Amino acid sequence: MLRAESPASVLSTRVSTLRNMEHIISVTVENKFGVLSRVAGLFSGRGFNIESLSVAPTLDPSMSQMTIVTSGDERIIEQIVKQLNKLIDVIKVVDLNETEFVSRETAIIKVHTKDADRAEALRIVDIFRANVVDSTPSTYTIEVSGDPKKIEAIINLLQPLGIKELVRTGRVAVAREPIRSTAVQAKKVARE
Amino acid sequence: MKLTGAEIFIECLKREGVKTVFALPGGVVLKIFDMLHQQKDIEVILTRHEQGAGHMAEGYAKATGKAGVCLVTSGPGMTNVITALADAYMDSVPVVCFSGQVPTNLIGNDAFQEADNVGLSRPCTKYNFLVKDVNDLAATIKEAFYIATTGRPGPVLVDIPKDVSMAKAEFTYPNSVSIRGYNPTYEGNKWQIKQAAEAIMKAKKPILYVGGGVIFSGASQELLELAEMTQVPVDMTLMGLGAFPGEHSLSLGMLGMHGTYQANMAMHYSDLVIAIGARFDDRVTGKVSEFCPYAKVIHVDIDPTSIRKNIHVDIPIVGDCKNVLRELNQILRATVNGEQKDLRKPWWDQIREWQAAHPLTFHQEKEGPIKPQQVVKRLYELTKDRDPIVSTDVGQHQMWAAQYFKLAKPNRWLTSGGLGTMGFGFPAAMGAQAAFRDRLVLCIAGDGSVQMNMQEMATAVVNKLPVKIVILNNGFHGMVRQWQDLFYEGRYASSYLDTTPDFVKLADAYGAVGLRVKKVGDLDAILKEALATDKPVIVDVPTYPYENCYPMIPAGGCNHEMLLEDPPELKQKQSGATKVAPEDKDTVLTA
């Protein structure tokens, strides 16, 4: 999982306007060495933005599934999809924004907790249906998953207690059923 | 029977029909060289620098249409060939480059002459492989040639560690290749082609804008038919020269930054741009926001990423130029009638008016300094009946060659377009000459560029590659000097070459033939003498140092706003002022 190249680019993508939309692109690739660097190199070499990228093998171990969160205007996104398709190790590219999709992100947050804060932390965990996965006399380690807004919200609430460490997986996403012709559409867009 | 990796390598090359390998050895590829040494089917041309090997493979590929092959060693061998790979990638040249790598157990250990070859070449190859197991070698080489020559062609690197070339495996060469993530689209969408045909029928001011894709796809005949049938004028890109006969009445010549007046004006005022195998490079579009403001755009290209990358396209057609043009012609043949000619008469009248108003011009005084354009023009006139292959380096001389050397057929023009690689011309010409030993191969070079791969003269002499180099010697990096005169108030920062070698003596030192044209009256005689020589020749032609290349669209400028001659203040400076540079240069040249 890769974070964006600079904090500034993260901030800029959060403000999604009509011109510069955030897109989630699902990419099926060959599961072999060097593929991640080909994809990452494409983005850096052509000046495209990556907000997050997550990758893991699919059910078929010869392939991996990448979820890339990126942003750009219509023309840039079209180029990103086409350029990804052009990579020989890329098997399929779907711009999930062309359809309905579900996306999730997991965060693991280590929070300082003393005395009364411990109860407050647990209340927050409860509200967000998060889990405490590790506990020491002075910290809780909390695992939460959901859409990015939910993650942002729990981070905001936990911040006053003092966040010691925070890791996020970046988003993974899948199109809602029925997919219908999503894949076909994406290929068509790419081939035009 | 089991073969070593090196033997497998040779068997694969034979099966791919490779006749020539441009190569330079080193420690980790010695096993392969040793095997090459013991066979007769594949010729090994030993170059003096790996960049030369890469450009020779490019020249070979451009002239033959087949993949060019080069072989280099690890580390510095690889880093030296990178420029040629990047050049091939930009200009879509099918090159398969084999590099040696340190043994697999040493990879990553900073071993002697180790470099991350796959990492280094990733951004400048279409694809690259590191072969870790000798059992994968044959299939990998098959895939490498397949990827390099199909779809939009490009360079492919195969990195072979030393132990892989030594190890043994059963040899079987696959008959076919199937890569699930790589399926180029060859057939254009029929509905889109129909739309395109309708748009062409209706257009009053159409223009064909054709690029290197037409040449790689072998679609020149189809293009000729389309243009003649519909009476649409043809603009060629730098890479597309030769795709359409340069002297054909429908040809407007090259377009772009140093394109002809009529080519750029026709582009700007057209109502339908039919782009075929071209990619709307910034040297063609100029200011994108004001590019072809009145036109609908049809774009035919095998690479989907080329379409709508730089400019908006109304009718995109992804496919092989030849197939698409064939289908397009089929539809048009049934529908075209005499009406198109009448419909487009005003357009042609306008184009002829542009043509007459500002043809390519230069002024050659009888006793004055030799004008570079005159050299290219005479070289063209003296050789056109011999159907020569012409290569160039990069700079002013390249643009003059593009303007005045009118190619009749494809695969005759070897030039570095996208990357603009100085030093490309001479080795590329040698690559073409290696493929066609009996043909006339010319290299039009600048005195700056040619020095970047001068060492390959040794290769040319040893391997009997009788390339004829004509150096337009102005003592400057001429294009840089032109920009400095136009945009940097004439401050010649690092553009004056000061001590250019005596190219005649240099040729002699290498065992080639050196000739010099001392005055314009001798030009024809010396060129003829060079053409009659069966050895590599350098013809050194000292030219007027301050000649500028026009028309010119300043970078980021608009296509209909061309500079057609030196601005008045520059003219005045050029004629009146005494310059230190040319006097110095004269003494150098006559010394």
Q: Which residue has the tokens 């910034």?
A: B282
With contacts defined as CB-CB under 8 Å, which chain A residues touch B307?
Answer: 82, 192
Same domain, A95 and A150: no
Same domain, A108 and A163: yes
Same domain, A151 and A108: yes
Same domain, A51 and A67: yes
Task: Please tell me which residue of chain A has the smallest CA distance to B156.
Answer: A88
- Return the residue in A35, A76, A82 with the most chain B beta carbons within 10 A, the one to mutate for interface testing: A82
Distance CA B78, CA B100 (A): 8
CATH of residue A31's domain is 3.30.70.260
Same domain, A7 and A78: yes
Q: Indicate which residue of B479, B547, B552, B562 is catalytic.
A: B479
CB atoms within 10 A of CB A75: 12
Distance CA B204, CA B352 (A): 15
CA atoms within 13 A on the CB side of B296: 16
Nearest C-alpha neighbor of B536 from the set B453, B475, B470, B446: B470
Among candidates A41, A83, A90 on the partner chain, residue whose Cβ is nearest the Cβ of B123: A41
A141 touches chain B (CB under 8 A): no
Same domain, A122 and A70: no
Sorted by where each starts, the structural domains of chain B and their CATH numbers stand as 2-170 (3.40.50.970), 190-357 (3.40.50.1220), 372-590 (3.40.50.970)
CB atoms within 10 A of CB B331: 17
Distance CA B433, CA B55 (A): 12
Same domain, A40 and A108: no
Among candidates A38, A88, A191 on the partner chain, residue whose Cβ is nearest the Cβ of B304: A191
pLDDT in tens, chain B (591 residues): 899 999 999 999 999 999 999 999 999 999 999 999 999 999 999 999 999 999 999 999 999 999 999 999 999 999 999 999 999 999 999 999 999 999 999 999 999 999 999 999 999 999 999 999 999 999 999 999 999 999 999 999 999 999 999 999 999 999 999 999 999 999 999 999 999 999 999 999 999 999 999 999 999 999 999 999 999 999 999 999 999 999 999 999 999 999 999 999 999 999 999 999 999 999 999 899 999 999 999 999 999 999 999 999 999 999 999 999 999 999 999 988 777 778 899 999 999 999 999 999 999 999 999 999 999 999 999 999 999 999 999 999 999 999 999 999 999 999 999 999 999 999 999 999 999 999 999 999 999 999 999 999 999 999 999 999 999 999 999 999 999 999 999 999 999 988 789 999 999 999 999 999 999 999 999 999 999 999 999 999 999 999 999 999 998 899 989 999 999 888 888 776 544 444 444 443 433
Distance CA B426, CA B456 (A): 8
Question: Is B112 in the active site?
Answer: yes
Q: Are B80 and B114 contacting, i.e. CB atoms less than 8 angstroms apart?
A: no
Same domain, A55 and A137: no
Same domain, A14 and A86: yes
Nearest C-alpha neighbor of B465 from the set B501, B426, B504, B502: B426
Same domain, A96 and A9: yes
Domain that residue A14 falls in: 2-100+181-191
A191: confidence class by pLDDT, cuts 50, 70, 90:
low
A190: confidence class by pLDDT, cuts 50, 70, 90:
low
Q: Are B425 and B444 contacting, i.e. CB atoms less than 8 angstroms apart?
A: yes
Distance of CA B174 to the CA centre of its chain: 32
CATH of residue A151's domain is 3.30.70.1150
Q: Indicate which residue of B50, B58, B114, B456 is catalytic.
A: B50
Question: What pLDDT score does B579 carry?
Answer: 46
Same domain, A59 and A149: no
**Position A71 pLDDT exceeds 90:** yes
Same domain, A7 and A84: yes
| pLDDT over 90 percentage in chain A | 76
- The pTM assigned to this predicted structure is 0.91
pLDDT in tens, B146-174: 999 999 999 999 999 999 999 999 999 99
Task: Please tell me which residue of chain B has the smallest CA distance to A38.
Answer: B122
User: How many structural domains are present in chain A?
Assistant: 2
pLDDT in tens, B371-403: 999 999 999 999 999 999 999 999 999 999 999
**Position A106 pLDDT exceeds 80:** yes
